[in-house]
A and B are shown apart, each in its own frame.
Chain A
């Protein structure tokens, strides 16, 4: 009979797989742009060898494209490295703004595919907690997965960490189809991970918002 640990393990592997697939897709796009710009330089060189003038502005635009894509790949790999190292320690003090921001960055491509924008707000005061970083990332990923699917194309989801008297929360607002989707369409694995972390998800249907309450 499957235990909650099986479910958590399965969800964690799926999370790792989805993030890895999304990152590899993003890097493929970066490489494709670099490849086309390198090819364009070859084309311009070939034309110059046959007497055509090279437009310095065109060369500069190509150089700018290279720099932009190198910066983009660097950001993708920084996020990937932070994500990969989140399994280094199973109990760690984390800053919720930084951790949720990382998950929002990792979820950027899936959100963009559904034309949903993710916005991260800075909390008024630091929201830190001691937890299992990878499990918390997985839990926020599942909440975002749900929220993105329950938001109309063109919508914006705002993520706001908050320190309250009763603990640390993450508010996710802008889920315009929340009433139709919650809780029936919460992703598999959510219940077991939230139980393992002592977390709970509280809907506010009047504000199209969810609050993830963390211990």
Chain B
């Protein structure tokens, strides 16, 4: 299982990546959409976990760009917001939508569900 994790909060993304790696998930992370696209050119990822609101390329824009590179990639969105607009965008565009702070067991279940679909 190879996961790409993208969030502009470096302490969040680095720590979550470390925790996922303890659970035998191979994780690379980026804090910018542009860096995520570079990573996805070098490796094939089963799933991307994307923050919805990031400076520059948003999570939804990034999903579209990653899908062009890797059509089979699955997506989970993360957000600190709980707005109705985010909810609609998140649930229509990705396998699931989780609001921070997240529960790692729920995230693991969602990763399993998304990659088995």
Question: Which A residues have a C-beta under 8 Å from some C-beta of B?
Answer: 21, 24-26, 28-29, 31-37, 39-40, 43, 47, 65, 68-69, 112-115, 153
Question: Which B residues have a C-beta under 8 Å from some C-beta of A?
Answer: 9, 11-12, 15-16, 18-19, 22, 53-56, 80-81, 83, 99-102, 104
Given A69-B11, A112-B55, A113-B53, A32 and B80 contact (CB-CB distance below 8 Å): yes
B80 A37 Cβ-Cβ under 8 A: no
Given A33-B11, A36-B101, 9 more A-B residue pairs with CB atoms under 8 Å apart are A25-B80, A25-B81, A28-B81, A31-B101, A36-B15, A39-B15, A43-B22, A113-B54, A153-B56
Most buried by B among A28, A36, A37, A153: A36
A46 to chain B, nearest CB (A): 9
A96 to chain B, nearest CB (A): 28
Given A33-B15, A36-B16, A69-B11, A28 and B55 contact (CB-CB distance below 8 Å): no
Query: Can you list 6 residue pairs at the A/B interface with Cβ under 8 Å?
Result: A25-B80, A32-B101, A33-B11, A36-B12, A36-B19, A39-B19
Instruction: Count contacts between A and B, CB distance < 8 Å.
Output: 61
What secondary structure prevails in chain A residues at the interface with B?
A: helix
Complex alpha-carbon distance, A34 and B12, angstroms = 8
Inside 8 A of B53's CB, which chain A residues have their CB?
25, 113
B22 A28 Cβ-Cβ under 8 A: no
